[in-house]
Amino acid sequence: MEHRTYYYARVSSRDQQHLDRQLNAFYALGAQERDIISDKESGKDLNRTGYTALKTTILRRGDTLVVKSLDRLSRNKRDIKHELEFFKENGIRLKVIDLPTTMMELPEGQEWIFEMVNNILIEVLGTIAEQERASIHQRQSEGIAAAKAKGKKFGRPSVLFPDNWQQVIEAWRQGAITAKEAMAQTGIKRSTFYKLVKLS
């Protein structure tokens, strides 16, 4: 069975210039129009029409997929790591033009070098993704701590009782006024009134 090479390009929107740069890089490698799949969709997730078709119906074991850079697969490092593992498990070679090591043509029997490069990429991307998550968590914690130091409160706002609440609620409980009158005197809505009654 003949092994084929496919090319994948992605731009986030109608960025024709960026798409042309990717396509020109493919043509320089001898790509045919029929073997190029492109998406004009965001890289924030993997659910893209062309890319999904590549993975589910077009690529076969032994085929090669060429991209201009790893972020064309996804902007998310964790997703890229997952995709590299997918290609490895399914026997699909990934070539990344911006990573010359992946572009090398090696004699038969030395495919282990590609395996090694792929494994290194997976490990590095996994580490970077982990560091990014830790960094985001740290920045969030520092941001919350800084905001708290400035007196900002988090969580649901505390319930504020009207200034005249105590005397109005006593009059209502004794039957001197109706709930409607109590709401009018305190200037609060029905739902808030009964919520405050429960808290009193």
pLDDT of residue 160: 78
With contact defined as beta carbons under 8 Å apart, do 186 and 162 qualify?
yes
Distances (CA, A) of 62 to 99, 101, 109, 178, 190: 20, 19, 14, 81, 69
pLDDT of residue 52: 94
pLDDT of residue 69: 87
pLDDT of residue 107: 64
> What is the distance of C-alpha 45 from the center of its chain?
6
pLDDT of residue 158: 59
pLDDT of residue 112: 66
Q: Where are the domains of the chain?
A: 5-131, 165-199
pLDDT of residue 141: 80
Active site residue 69: no
pLDDT of residue 190: 87
Topology classification of domain 5-131:
Rossmann fold (3.40.50)
pLDDT in single tens digits along all 200 residues of the chain:
688 999 999 998 767 788 899 999 999 999 999 999 999 887 777 889 999 999 999 999 999 999 998 888 887 878 888 898 899 899 898 888 988 777 777 666 666 666 777 677 767 766 765 666 677 778 788 777 777 777 766 665 556 788 898 898 888 888 889 989 989 998 888 888 888 888 87
pLDDT of residue 154: 61
- Name, in order, each residue with C-beta under 8 angstroms of 67's C-beta and a sequence gap of 6 or more: 7, 8, 9, 73, 94, 95, 96, 97
pLDDT of residue 5: 95
Q: In whole angstroms, give the CA distance from residue 121 to residue 118.
A: 5
pLDDT of residue 58: 95
The 10s digit of each residue's pLDDT in 43-63 is 777 889 999 999 999 999 999
Q: In whole angstroms, give the CA distance from residue 100 to residue 199.
A: 67
**Residue 122 CB neighbours (<10 A):** 17
Catalytic pick from 12, 69, 135, 200? 12
